Structure 1
Amino acid sequence: MAGVNRKISASSARAHTRKAKQNSSFSFSSGMLRKVSVVLLMGLLAWAYQSIQPPPPKICGSPNGLPVTSPRIKLRDGRHLAYKEHGVPKEKAKYMIVYVHGFASCRHETLLLSPEVVEELGIYLVSFDRAGYGESDPNLKRTLRSTASDIEDLADQLELGPKFYVIGNSMGGQVVWTCLKYIPDRLAGAALIAPVINYWWPGFPANLSREGYNRQPVADQWAVRVAHYAPWLTYWWNTQKWFPSSSVIAHNPELFSPQDRELFRQLMGRRHYEAQVRQQGDFVSLHLDMIIGFGKWEFDPMDLENPFPNNEGSVHLWHGYQDWVVPVTLQSYIAQKLPWIHYHELPGVGHLVPVADGFSDAIVKALLLGEQ
């Protein structure tokens, strides 16, 4: 009996040893699996972080950077701003105008004024590259206020006087709202041409802004939604290949009305400078434009007060009825909320108002002379 007990005991010991080895092996495998999972997760997070980080900009004038071919001023924060002068010489000018270009554009694009109007009225006009565009230094701390401050610095360094006119087109028209907010005392008058709308401005009725938002192509609905709610993802969203990104950035002609497409041939001249527009990087030009333009604003344009209560100047808003890029319904609502704005709704005209025949002249005559 004792022998049987010894055999059972030895068998039990062997079974216990095998189980211990199995448990040890299982414990070792589980530990390794956890470690591998952690390493993979860390690698995935590192890859995700890198993929949403924009590359450093190619700053003009920096060592081994892009060349500077235009005159520039040095701003109060040390950045450089490139500009281009048009019209009559400053010393002979009667009217000083600062022109603000739109999205995916630069200082070379401005109003198509006739030489007769320029000479007759004595117009000096300066256009400039907004931060990150063309040859102007990027501003990674860009805010709603910063471009208005850049305009003020430009006017002071070019000695345009205590007051000047400002005209902005499309995204540049949106910048004019910030000038009316932050530097109204420097303005002799202002014109907004088809200014871009932020669908999250609180002054809009929810149903109206939703209707305008839904008129965009689905790709653009997502692009502006990302810029508004997750600005840190804007670079990744517009460079990834899994989902359609902004059709505006992609220059999709279907975004424009038939009236605009008929005018495209007049834009062929931009080919000689098109490479300059985004040369410092898409993030510091296009993507920051989207983040600022469609982000959370610290003021609502519909709450602005008349900067010219004594009619010492005027503000004009021009918008094409056939504009497929910016909904005319939202623009007309703003005009109703701000009755001090001279609103010009243009039948048969799309988003490219300055390119349409005669409208550049009409815009400056209305602004400078009060002609309707």
Structure 2
Amino acid sequence: MFKKIILVLLIGFLAWVYQAARSPPPRICGSPAGPPVTSTRIKLRDGRRLAYKEHGVPKEKAKYKIIFVHGFGCSRHDLAFATSVELGMAEGQGVYFVSFDRPGYGESDPDPKRTLKSVAMDIEELADQLELGSKFYVIGSSMGGQQVWGCLKYIPHRLSGATLIAPVINYWWPRFPAKISAEAYYQQYPQDQWALRVAHYTPWLTYWWNTQKWFPASSAIAQKPKFSRQDLELISKLRGIKHDRAHVTQRGEFESLHRDLMVGFGSWEFDPMDLKNPFLDNEGSVHLWQGDEDGLVPVTLQRHIAEKLPWIHYHELPGAGHLFSIADGVSEAILKALLLGEKEPVEEITD
């Protein structure tokens, strides 16, 4: 009798875990019960829709064509870069800029099979359907920087150049020395250490972990990340640019935020430190920008990447946190380095 009771309780517990770990189905844009469609979208090879937004000069007149990849909890509207492009370099240098909602964000359909490779293929298809030509530039910020690593791996032949802005690091990349990776990992908030462990080792529990009320979930999902002093000073400016969080996650937090954690901190198909220079003839360049006071992305690991990949132009900004690209003049310096080969004039981030 006692064994039967234990078995019933175990079955009940497993059933509860199964139900708690299941994410709700994503909401469908344009459906009677779903969010409205307000964007321009393309239909991808597998039938998914990808929402995008264009900026700068018309692409037919553009000298430079750039695809921007947004970060965690953002969307096609979150363009600190667009302000610089539209008001400064766009007309003067002939810059066309297109941003898009990554799968599961905003008005782009979720991709339950999302990987670094699949997003690189989405980017390539976006470029082809918009007729951007045989080559184009990519810029990725924060979590979007991981997608740029994917472009360098899977579609390097399509790139004129690439920039990674404070790209989020996966602590489980094999080429990181265990000691420096562990030191950087334990600089995070304890709640983030646990959230990433779950995303990496038990991804099927990611939804439950970040929605349960027993333990603190990811600080980024709670919108209380480890910002630096400079970040906090820039927050007020970011609020003028950042789009509504409800719009960003309107398809559901699982297919946007939670899947970002699962893909970004899961087992990658490749290690970025094994990549080869895609521009051996110097017909393009790759740039990595990092603040030395970034509380979200440890500078020590970026320095290691720059050491292992000397063909990457590494720019480290003293006093800068994670949001340095919205500081005055920084986005323009980033663009000039990528497009014109100019050395950045930014030596220190000021208020």
- Do the structures match in fold with TM over 0.5? yes
Q: Which residue of 2 aligns with 1:337?
A: 308
Q: Which residue of 1 aligns with 2:42?
A: 73
Shift of 1:269: 2.1
* 1:331-362 deviation line (CA, Å, top 9, x unaligned): 01100100100000001211112211111111
Distance 1:80 1:322 in 2: 38
1:276 aligns with 2:247: yes
Stretch of structure 1 that moved more, 175-184 or 267-276? 267-276
SS at structure 2 position matched to 1:96: strand
Q: Which residue of 1 aligns with 2:167?
A: 195
1:48 to 1, 13, 17: 17
- AA of the residue aligned to 1:82: A
Contact conserved, 2:77 with 2:243, CA < 8 A, in 1?
A: no
1:262 aligns with 2:233: yes
* 1:6-62 deviation line (CA, Å, top 9, x unaligned): xxxxxxxxxxxxxxxxxxxxxxxx3xx554444333222211100001111112123
4+ runs deviating over 6 angstroms:
none
1:116 aligns with 2:107: no
**What 5-or-longer segments of structure 1 have no aligned partner?**
1-29
Give the structure-1-normalised TM-score. Answer: 0.89
Contact conserved, 2:74 with 2:242, CA < 8 A, in 1?
A: no
Contact conserved, 1:59 with 1:138, CA < 8 A, in 2?
A: no
Q: Which residue of 1 aligns with 2:186?
A: 214
1:350 aligns with 2:321: yes
Go from structure 1 to structure 2 and tell me whether the alpha carbon gap of 1:231 and 1:272 turns closer, same or farther (over 3 Å shift): closer
Q: After the TM superposition, which residues 21-60 of structure 1 pair with which residues of structure 2 at under 5 Å, given as runs?
A: 30=1, 34-60=3-29
**How many matched pairs?**
340
Distance 1:261 1:252 in 2: 11
Contact conserved, 1:169 with 1:195, CA < 8 A, in 2?
A: yes
- AA of the residue aligned to 2:263: I
- AA of the residue aligned to 2:301: L
- AA of the residue aligned to 1:308: F
Contact conserved, 2:78 with 2:243, CA < 8 A, in 1?
A: no
Contact conserved, 1:155 with 1:161, CA < 8 A, in 2?
A: yes
Distance 1:342 1:69 in 2: 38
- AA of the residue aligned to 1:153: E
Distance 2:276 2:242 in 1: 41
* 1:114-135 deviation line (CA, Å, top 9, x unaligned): 5231111100000000000000
Shift of 1:161: 0.4
Distance 1:331 1:218 in 2: 21
The percentage of aligned residue pairs carrying the same residue is 68
Contact conserved, 2:74 with 2:243, CA < 8 A, in 1?
A: no
Q: Which residue of 2 aligns with 1:309?
A: 280
Give the structure-2-normalised TM-score. Answer: 0.94
Contact conserved, 1:321 with 1:328, CA < 8 A, in 2?
A: yes
Task: Compute the RMSD of aligned alpha carbons.
Answer: 1.2
Distance 2:12 2:341 in 1: 63
Contact conserved, 1:308 with 1:314, CA < 8 A, in 2?
A: yes
**What 5-or-longer segments of structure 2 have no aligned partner?**
344-351
Higher helix share: 1
1:64 aligns with 2:36: no
